[in-house]
């Protein structure tokens, strides 16, 4: 028993400092993104809903409506993995694209996949006024692009 405890402590002491900060990140640290959010992009209305994290995932869906019809939609999830949270996007229901959490603070998260064309970087931050800011950045047809979206909480109906 004493040997097992000693070996466990040795593994913790040796491996503990080598664990990346992201491997210790928890989906509960990203729970501030949960809820319903609405915003505009020109004349288009965007609505996004995210379910509180549980069971190792946070699920979400987004819909963009313009001219009375759905012009875009996206399924998304944030998964807990051994090396840290991963944002998985499926715009228009296409095959998933993964973005690894690279930075996180109390109300800010940055996900990156530098091998992808657009976006390469997805940033979310909850602002002091309660709004949610999303930014995407990447390359489209040889041109670097950056877009920002502002969302307010969906009003209760």
**Listed residue (92, 136, 93, 133) closest to 116, CA to CA:** 136
- pLDDT reported for residue 89: 97
Position 86 scores a pLDDT of 98
Alpha-carbon span 125 to 90, nearest angstrom = 21
d(CA 5, CA 112): 39
Render each residue's pLDDT in the chain as its tens digit; 157 residues: 444 434 343 333 333 333 344 445 789 999 999 999 999 999 999 999 999 999 999 999 999 999 999 999 999 999 999 999 999 999 999 999 999 999 999 999 999 999 999 999 999 999 999 999 999 999 998 899 999 999 999 986 5
* Among the listed residues 151, 156, 146, the one whose alpha carbon sits nearest the alpha carbon of residue 127: 151
Q: State residue 155's pLDDT score.
A: 80
pLDDT of residue 87: 98
Separation of alpha carbons 52 and 34, rounded Å = 5
At 23 the pLDDT is: 44
Cα 111 from chain centroid (whole Å): 6
Q: Count the Cβ atoms, other than its own, within 10 Å of residue 22.
A: 16
CB proximity list for 86: less than 8 A, separation 6 or greater: 78, 79, 98, 99, 100, 101, 111
Q: Determine the pLDDT at residue 150.
A: 96
Q: List, in order of start, the domains of the chain with CATH numbers.
A: 30-153 (2.40.128.20)
């Amino acid at each position: 028993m004493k040997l097992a405890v000693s070996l466990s402590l040795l593994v913790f002491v040796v491996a503990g400092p080598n664990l990346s900060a992201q491997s210790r990140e928890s989906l509960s640290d990203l729970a501030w993104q949960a809820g319903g959010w609405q915003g505009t992009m020109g004349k288009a209305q965007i609505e996004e809903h995210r379910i509180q994290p549980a069971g190792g995932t946070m699920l979400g869906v987004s819909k963009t409506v313009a001219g009375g019809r759905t012009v875009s939609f996206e399924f998304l999830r944030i998964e807990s993995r051994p090396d840290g949270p991963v944002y998985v996007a499926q715009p228009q229901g296409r095959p998933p694209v993964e973005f690894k959490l690279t930075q996180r603070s109390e109300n800010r998260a940055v996900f990156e996949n530098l091998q992808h064309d657009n976006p390469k970087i997805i940033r979310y931050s909850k602002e002091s006024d309660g709004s949610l800011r999303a930014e995407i950045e990447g390359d489209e047809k040889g041109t670097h692009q950056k877009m920002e979206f502002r969302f307010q909480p969906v009003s209760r109906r």
